[in-house]
Amino acid sequence: MMSRDRELHVDVDDFALEKPVRLLKTLMYYPLALLLLAVTAQASVLTLKSPRFVVSDSTGNQLRAEPTASPVKLGARESLKITFQVVDKEDEKGVQPHQTFIRFYDESTGEEGIQPVRVTPGGKAKFDLNLSKPPLYLPPTSDKPLKVSLIIGTPNYDPISAQLFDLVLPWSQPAPVHPDEAVFHPRPELQHTFRPEQKVPNKFISLVFSGIAIAPWFVLLGLWSQVAPRATGLFSPSILPFIASLGAFEVLLFTYWVKLRLGDVLLYGGILGVVTVFTGRRALSSIAAKRTQ
């Protein structure tokens, strides 16, 4: 087989070597065996014999044949095969445990998938994960690695629960979420976009046009400087009250514009109107009298 750039290539014949070397290779590649070696004093202990681990692509070529410390990456059409035999440590006889599970656990989300491994009565176990037909027990995956561990339990023997390797699978759909689940967490803040403030034209333009509006006054003032108006009878007691009431009406109008309301202004206007009637009659009759003299 051609060895590619970054994939390790292990000769299959390695596993056909003598028993001690095979055991040594088992110790190197499977930390759980190291664990069992430490507990030699226990009575009923199970161990794994001839574990094999193979990653192959859709055409059957082997891509990787031993797990190392780095995570095992599985592409969309590749498959992972793990085979081993469960034996009693003392007499090397095959044991079919009650529970032989492979557990896939995503630490970041807490999702978990567990699959029992089919073990023959002689203890031979075979596990096959083929990603061209992804099985249902796999938890939802992202780019975070899944921790793969092996759980073996059976009456009268010590249980085994060992981390095997990290597995990186292609992205999957996220776990389905209940539609009400979003209410149980803080939700995104919403702000209302207000209509933009109405734009007011430049004050300078307003000033210019105000100037145009009051320009005739300057003309008037200019003309008056030539021909002054005479207001001789201004302070006679018959005319002044009328002028004052007219002025009061103008003041009322200005005040209405600034702050009053219709009800108030009608009230004040009514009072002022009555007053103006009397002062007006007096003023106009006095002017008329002056004329007819």
Partner 1 sequence: MFSLRRWCLLALSLAGVLVDAKSSTGDSVLVVVDPAQQDNYSIFFNGLKDQGYELTFRSPKVEKPVIIEDNVSNFAHVILLAPEAKNLGKDITPQSIVELLSLKTNVVVALPTKQSPLHALAAEFSLILPPPGSPLISYSPKRDTPSTLIPISVEDHSSPVLTKHIRPVWFSGIPQALGNNPLLIPILRAPAESFASEVTVTSGSAEALVDAAEKGGEGLWAGSSLSAVTGFQATNGARITFVGGAEVFSDELAQKEAEQYVQSGNIDFVKEVAAWTFQENLVLRIEKVEHHLVNGTEPKETYTINDNVEFSAYISKWNPAKGEWQPYSGLKDLQLEFTMLDPFVRTALPPVNGAPGKYSTAFRAPDRHGVFKFVINHKRKGWSFLESSTTVPVVPPRHDGYPRFLSAAWPYYAGAISTSVAFFLFSTIWLAGEARDSKKGKAAKSE
**Got the DSSP string for 31-44?**
HHHHHHHHTTT-SS
Figure out which of the listed residues 19, 93, 133, 203 binds partner 1, where binding follows CB under 8 A: 203
Among 47, 79, 85, 100, binds partner 1 (CB under 8 A): 100
As a residue count, the chain comes to 293
Residue among 112, 128, 255, 277 that touches partner 1 (CB under 8 A): 112
Q: Is 183 in the site for partner 1 (CB under 8 A)?
A: yes
Interaction between residue 89 and partner 1 (CB under 8 A): no
Q: Does 194 help bind partner 1 (rule: CB under 8 A)?
A: yes
The one segment of 10-18, 59-67, 75-83, 192-200 that binds partner 1 by CB under 8 A: 192-200
Select from 219, 227, 234, 263 the one that contacts partner 1 (CB under 8 A). 234
Residue 11's CB: how many other CB atoms inside 10 A? 9
Residue nearer to partner 1 on the CB measure, 68 or 210: 210
Q: Output the CA–CA distances (angstroms, integers) from residue 115 to 14, 106, 132, in the order listed.
A: 29, 15, 17
**Quick one: residue 15, left, alpha or beta (phi over 0 = left, psi -120 to 50 = alpha)?**
alpha
- Burial label for 232, CB within 10 Å (0-12, 13-18, 19+), is exposed
Task: List the structure tokens of 277.
Answer: 């009637």
Residues 88 and 42: beta-carbon distance below 8 Å: no
* Residues 120-159: x where in contact with partner 1 by CB under 8 A, - otherwise, as a string: -x--------------xx-------------x-xxx--xx
Between 3 and 156, CB nearer to partner 1: 156
Q: In the numeric block, which tokens belong to residue 165? A: 């390797």
Enter the tokens of residue 123. 């203890």
| Cα Rg of the chain (Å, integer) | 51
Q: Which is nearer to partner 1, 34 or 182 (CB)?
A: 182
Q: Tell whether residue 88 is a contact of partner 1 (CB under 8 A).
A: no
Nearest CA to 51 out of 73, 74, 81 is that of 81
Please select the residue that binds partner 1; options are 72, 87, 146, 239, rule is CB under 8 A.
Answer: 239
Contact positions with partner 1 (CB under 8 A) in 52-81: none
The reply on whether position 231 binds partner 1 by CB under 8 A is: yes
Total Cβ atoms within 10 A of residue 116: 13
> Binding to partner 1 by residue 101, rule CB under 8 A?
yes
Of the residues 12, 17, 207, 274, which one makes contact with partner 1 according to CB under 8 A: 207
Kindly state whether residue 181 participates in binding partner 1, applying the rule CB under 8 A: yes
